[in-house]
Amino acid sequence: MEVLLVEDNPADQMLAQQAFKDANTPCTLNIVADGEQAMMYLRNIDQYKNANRPKLILLDLNMPKMDGHEVLEAVKTDPELAGIPVVILTTSSNPKDVKSCYAAHANSYVRKPADMNEFTDAVRDLEHYWFDVVSLP
Amino acid sequence: MKEDTISALEVVDVQGSSSATTSMPGVFVWGIVAICVIPFLLTLAGFDFGSHAEKFDMAEMAQASGPAQVDAMFNRLPGAFAHALLEWTAFCAAIFTVLLAFSQFRMTGDITTPIIGMALFCAGCMDAFHTLAAARLITAEASNQDLIPFTWAICRIFNAMIMIIGVSLFLRKDFNFRLAGVPFLIGTSVLFMVLAYAIISYCANSASLPQTQYPDSLITRPYDVIPLVLFAFAGLYLYPKFYRKVPSLFAHALIISAIPEVVVELHMAFGSSALFDSHFNIAHFLKIIAYVVPFLGLMLDYIRTYREQQQAHEALEISQTELELQAGKLKIINEELTTSNAELEQFAYIASHDLQEPLRTVTSFLQLLERDCKEKVSDDGKKYIDFAVDGSMRMKQLIEGLLGVSRVGTSDQEMVATDTGEILQAVINTMHESIERSAAVIQYDELPTLHVDENQLHQLFQNLIGNAIKYCDGTAPKIVVSAEQVDGVWQFSVADNGIGMSSKHYSRIFQIFQRLHGREEYSGVGIGLAICKKIVERHAGRIWVESTVGEGSTFYFTINESTSARLSAVG
């Protein structure tokens, strides 16, 4: 179960890795640091030539160069990539962000909890939902 | 004669023209007095103002040439011509007076001026008839010898009477100045004219008229004593009373006009014994003055009113310009305030939003640290980490609270007609867990449909009901929600049976982060009511509380649809 995490903040990258470890999920977490890298990964360009297609994308919103909204747009308008579920994972609770992400066909929107335990629970729930409950293409 | 003049002066208040706009200038009054007195003094000094006809020899005239004959005839009649001139001038003054009086009436609506002007005019018409009859321009039955003196006497008596009647109309205690309008004016004018005409008719058609001239008596023209008494009465009593009731330049001029009127009568009653003699001509001259005085009063009034209007107009223009300037300044300040307010709210929102990210980092890594270093860290160390984590959790709550408050202001949600009862029901559904846990009972009456921000009203109800459930002392919370219209505005109330509070805290609780209890007693950050206040203010309402310690609190808030609609349209 390949999961792609698109997150620029190294602290958040580390927290996510820790959460996945604590949640004891069978997922493999791949991390890219910005939107451009994410697109290269998904399209198997350059160093990502041999990257596996992820089953799930966890996408942060506030990133330099190419931010989450643009990545979401790019993925969901590309017929090759549109089928991959995209879960927005962000600290923003702004209703405008929620609205625009769903409008751009994000599959769900998750607010990153500040509490580590809550984050771990959320990751566990996410993994359970997307890989056990839901059928993926 | 002098005594009468002086006593008339005592009545007249001789003031400077600058003080009030209702009295003629002192100079003017003294001028009139002088004009009245000087001719008499001059006659004492030997001047003769009489018109003397040249002797006429019929036999000589038959021999003379045509033009010479006409000249001789003219020379026979200097008195008549002088008389016609003097009388006609007086009549013209009366015409000008009445025209000006009516013009004044149109400008000010003051009914007294045209009525009295009309009285003067009718008296003038009588004088005109007297003149035309005396000049044989209109035929009358009687001879000039009797006609001229008699019509003179009648004219003077009529003049005095019509003026007294005209002024007395306004002295009636119950005279309603506001109701008296054009119909009253027309009615009175017609009455005056009918009176004048009737008298003129009588004079013209009577073959023999009573004798009025008694050259050998002390009182050479006894009929002139009547108008003498009448004018003295008018000048000393009636006109001043009128002036006190209706102070104006015209009324004051009337008082002054009594002086020449009285002097005219003195000259005629005691001085003149024959037609066209010195006192006769002086009297006729002074009669012109008597007509001119009220006319000058009107003129002065006109000029002063015009000047005052000009000044008032200018002052108005200046203050209007100033007002526009102020309005412009206010508009700029208002715009600046609105911009600054919007910026502040935006700032608060962005700040609290961006603060969440690093806060999360701190909290999460502290927790990881706590977990990883459990064995390696001393008991104290564990406590340090606990306090650190706790602190960051609190900061998270505070930031979320701040974010909640600033979001109320930055919301651009439109106000839509919503059933507030449905919103309350939705809140109850959302909170069903805590309601069940606390065994709370929530009652509500029929609630109105109003233009509100649905989400915000949901939040408002949720905070108030949440507080009602939270701040109770063990007994099952009983909450009653109701609404009524007060002064055209909907007023809601949320009443509970909780712990209540003292009145000194009534305003504190609505401030951000202000609480009445510690975190150990009751949870919370002190943001719920601050958010409620902001939401209510966005709906152009007020929120307040009434409470009794130990019994419960009732929170009231109003929603003003009309004002909130205007506010949201602006910003």
Average pLDDT estimate for B319-330? 94
Look at B142 and B151; give whichever has higher pLDDT: B151
pLDDT at A74: 93
Q: Which of B73-77, B422-426, B482-486 has the lowest mean pLDDT?
A: B73-77
Average pLDDT estimate for A69-84? 92
Q: Considering only CB atoms, which chain A residues are within 8 Å of B348?
A: none
Q: Considering only CB atoms, which chain B residues are within 8 Å of A62?
A: 357
Average pLDDT estimate for B380-406? 84
A·B CB contacts under 8 A? 41
pLDDT at B112: 83
Minimum CA–CA partner of B394 in chain A: A114
Please spell the DSSP secondary structure of A79-121, one letter per residue: TTTTTS-EEEEES---HHHHHHHHHTT-SEEEEPPSSHHHHHH
Contact B367 A11 (CB under 8 A): no
Average pLDDT estimate for A57-65? 88
Average pLDDT estimate for B52-57? 73
Contact A114 B393 (CB under 8 A): yes
Q: What is the pLDDT of residues B242-287, one digit of tens each?
A: 898 888 888 899 899 999 999 999 888 888 777 788 888 888 899 9
pLDDT over 60 (residue B10): no
pTM metric for this prediction:
0.49
Average pLDDT estimate for B540-548? 93
pLDDT band at residue B188, thresholds of 50, 70 and 90?
A: confident
Distance of alpha carbon B353 from alpha carbon B375, whole angstroms: 36
pLDDT at B46: 83
Average pLDDT estimate for A61-69? 85
Q: What is the pLDDT of residues B505-517, one digit of tens each?
A: 898 899 888 888 8
Would you list which residues of chain B are within 8 Å, Cβ to Cβ, of chain A? 353, 356-357, 359-361, 363-365, 367-368, 371, 392-393, 396, 403
Residues with Cβ within 8 Å of B358's Cβ and at least 6 positions away in sequence, in order, are none
Q: Does A93 touch chain B (CB under 8 A)?
A: yes
Look at B553 and B222; give whichever has higher pLDDT: B553
Contact A15 B368 (CB under 8 A): yes
pLDDT over 90 (residue B16): no
Average pLDDT estimate for B204-222? 72
Look at B546 and B526; give whichever has higher pLDDT: B546
Average pLDDT estimate for B121-148? 80
Q: Does A114 touch chain B (CB under 8 A)?
A: yes
Q: Which of B397, B423, B434, B395 is nearest to B481 (CA)?
A: B423
Burial degree of B298 (CB within 10 A; 0-12, 13-18, 19+): buried
Look at B267 and B54; give whichever has higher pLDDT: B267
Look at A117 and B78; give whichever has higher pLDDT: A117
For residue B367, give the nearest of A9, A12, A115 by CB distance.
Answer: A115
pLDDT at B52: 78
CB of B373 closer than 8 Å to CB of B382: no
pLDDT at A42: 92
Please spell the DSSP secondary structure of B336-382, one letter per residue: HHHHHHHHHHHHHHHHHHHHHHHHHHHHHHHHHHHHHTTTTS-HHHH
pLDDT at B18: 36
pLDDT at B564: 61
pLDDT at B15: 37
Q: How far is B449 from chain A (nearest CA, A)?
A: 26
pLDDT at B542: 93
pLDDT at A31: 93
pLDDT over 70 (residue A125): yes
Provide the 10 A C-beta neighbour count for residue B83.
23
Look at B75 and B384; give whichever has higher pLDDT: B384
**Mean pLDDT of chain A, nearest integer:** 90
Residues forming beta bridges with residue B557, ordered by sequence position: B492, B543
**Long-range contacts from B7-14, C-beta under 8 angstroms, 24+ separation:** B7/B236, B8/B232, B8/B235, B8/B236, B8/B255, B8/B258, B8/B259, B8/B262, B9/B33, B9/B259, B11/B235, B11/B236, B11/B240, B11/B255, B12/B252, B12/B255, B12/B256
Average pLDDT estimate for B528-555? 92
For residue B364, give the nearest of A62, A94, A116 by CB distance.
Answer: A116
Q: What is the pLDDT of residues B420-432, one digit of tens each?
A: 999 999 999 999 9
**B119 token code pair:** 């009285």
Contact A116 B368 (CB under 8 A): yes
**Mean pLDDT of chain B, nearest integer:** 83
For residue B356, give the nearest of A11, A91, A116 by CB distance.
Answer: A91
Burial degree of A93 (CB within 10 A; 0-12, 13-18, 19+): middle
pLDDT over 80 (residue B101): yes
CB of B223 closer than 8 Å to CB of B268: no
As for the ipTM of the complex, it is 0.79
pLDDT at B465: 94
Contact B363 A116 (CB under 8 A): yes
pLDDT over 50 (residue B458): yes
pLDDT band at residue B565, thresholds of 50, 70 and 90?
A: low
Q: Which of B390, B411, B478 is nearest to B439 (CA)?
A: B478
pLDDT over 80 (residue B447): yes
Average pLDDT estimate for A3-19? 90
Contact B365 A12 (CB under 8 A): no
Percentage above 70 pLDDT, chain A? 100
Substitution target in A17, A91, A97 with the highest count of B β-carbons within 10 Å is A91
Average pLDDT estimate for B342-356? 81
**B128 token code pair:** 């005109």
Look at B425 and B389; give whichever has higher pLDDT: B425
Percentage above 90 pLDDT, chain A? 50
pLDDT at B129: 85
Average pLDDT estimate for B385-408? 84
Contact residues, A window 28-87, toward B, CB-based 8 Å cutoff: 62
Q: What one-letter code names the amino acid at B266?
A: L
Percentage above 90 pLDDT, chain B? 23
pLDDT over 80 (residue B72): no
pLDDT at B275: 76
Contact B364 A92 (CB under 8 A): no
pLDDT band at residue B355, thresholds of 50, 70 and 90?
A: confident
pLDDT band at residue B536, thresholds of 50, 70 and 90?
A: very high
pLDDT at B5: 47
Contact B357 A91 (CB under 8 A): yes
Minimum CA–CA partner of B397 in chain A: A114
> Which run of H or E residues covers position B418?
strand B416-419
